[in-house]
Structure 1
């Protein structure tokens, strides 16, 4: 793991687009299929909210496996141009399910995701219960009341000064959780890390490179606002870029592949050629 300068945040996005541009349809289809499957899983009555978080790390791991394959072919094509014609199967999206090595860590990652969400809901529910003690809150259980009326009733209690400490605490916990899980899946699937090690390394990587992630977030925000199409379509088109940029950032921080200009890529191509020549 290494520390990178702030400008890398922009480079991650540029490199992500360069990487997926020749195979944009494949990456777009893979990412959309992942989200469609998660949506369908979440709609299963009673157990959907449990199944979807457990499936998510496995499907995300499959996307990273596909991106690693795209990278391998892209590197190989620098010394063997015909390598760029190699097909990549959508079946790789489900390859992590068949691999026993990361299975335990990914399952626990899904359980941790469920536990974290439940913990936040429990904290909010406890706060609301305490605030409403001694207050007539029959509207919340009144079958004739609609959701808008219930929300209007709750807003004053959720926005009072006491609630701000709650929201700040939830925000801090959510940021810490996001830092710990940001690179967790690629660390487990691509580097074989345990869940604890993945959490620790991901948290440290994001913390050490906060300036690069700040630039990264600002650039994505600007892209999201400037794409001249409808909100939903812009999100769909940007999703492959976002997922790939996370993969590129992972490569860069763990020094698995240089990210930058043509000189870096040419140097990597020469190293790859030398290794191939040595093996042959």
Structure 2
């Protein structure tokens, strides 16, 4: 794996946001049925874990980066012409596991701190609803909680946006590039800001596709959910291109040997 020393994110044109979506769809189409199965397994496993009283939801948050990495490893395998396999899901639990769990822990603490700040500025009712894990049966209750929260909503949106940007590429940077969790979050945040144009196009494209996917009884989400994963890998590999083998230093004594197949 490439070591992430002095890594700098690529700055891309706004139109690249749509290209990421197309690249993600191409990766999905290389193994569409298996992608659906893998996402279903992840959903069932994370939902079952979250259902455990008290410790379930925090534990699922801790493990989420490792699960995400497994899906990203599957994307890289397809990109390199290999087969997508169920075993890819467990890649994050085989290498860099401690760093990935640490990353999940940082994100979890960040969420609690943001919720705590929101409660301090008048959003206690809204936070209690959000942390309950179950939406209220009466939509009016949520509407009133949001209206009563006022400034707390603005603070929550701003800080959760920052946390999301910091976590966007952090699991991949930890796993593929060997970067420490905190540094990976900083680099992910910088990469997001440096590519705010393509990220905006990418986000708008996803929202439009989500609307279309929801029309025929939500069936379009069977495709859109995997494409969301594969296109995220396209974002990462576009902003942080994998190091080519030709760019690595030659082994000792190789300089004097002719390369097979060259003149």
| Structure 1 segment 1-280 matched on structure 2, within 5 A | 1-73=9-81, 87-99=83-95, 102-128=96-122, 152=141, 155=144, 158-160=146-148, 163-227=149-213, 228-231=215-218, 233-256=219-242, 278=259
* Cα offset, 1:20, TM superposition: 2.3
* Structure with greater helix percent: 1
* Cα offset, 1:151, TM superposition: 6.8
* Cα offset, 1:24, TM superposition: 1.3
Partner-residue secondary structure (3-state), 1:46: coil
Partner-residue secondary structure (3-state), 1:159: helix
The Cα offsets for residues 54-89 of structure 1, whole Å up to 9 and x where unpaired, read as 12111111111111111111xxxxxxxxxxxx6442
Q: Please give the alpha-carbon distance, in whole angstroms, between the structure 2 residues aligned to 1:89 and 1:150.
A: 42
Partner-residue secondary structure (3-state), 2:31: helix
Structure 2 gaps of 5+ residues are 1-8, 126-135, 248-257
* Cα offset, 1:201, TM superposition: 1.1
* Cα offset, 1:278, TM superposition: 4.0
CA change 1:182–1:28 in 2 (3 A) is: same
Cα contact 1:184–1:199 (8 A) shared by 2: yes
In the superposition, the TM-score normalised over structure 2's length comes to 0.78
* Cα offset, 1:254, TM superposition: 1.2
* Cα offset, 1:4, TM superposition: 0.3
Partner-residue secondary structure (3-state), 1:67: helix
Partner in structure 2 of residue 144 of structure 1:
none
Cα contact 1:57–1:106 (8 A) shared by 2: yes
In the superposition, the TM-score normalised over structure 1's length comes to 0.74
Q: Please give the alpha-carbon distance, in whole angstroms, between the structure 1 residues aligned to 2:203 and 2:142.
A: 35
Cα contact 2:118–2:156 (8 A) shared by 1: no
Partner-residue secondary structure (3-state), 1:247: helix
CA change 1:149–1:181 in 2 (3 A) is: closer
Cα contact 2:123–2:152 (8 A) shared by 1: no
Partner in structure 2 of residue 82 of structure 1:
none
Q: Which structure would you say has the larger Rg?
A: 1
Cα contact 2:115–2:156 (8 A) shared by 1: no
Partner-residue secondary structure (3-state), 1:3: coil
Question: Matched residue pairs, number?
Answer: 230
Q: Please give the alpha-carbon distance, in whole angstroms, between the structure 1 residues aligned to 2:200 and 2:138.
A: 38
* Cα offset, 1:211, TM superposition: 0.7
Structure 1 gaps of 5+ residues are 74-85, 132-146, 258-267, 272-276
Q: Please give the alpha-carbon distance, in whole angstroms, between the structure 1 residues aligned to 2:76 and 2:229.
A: 12
Partner-residue secondary structure (3-state), 1:116: helix
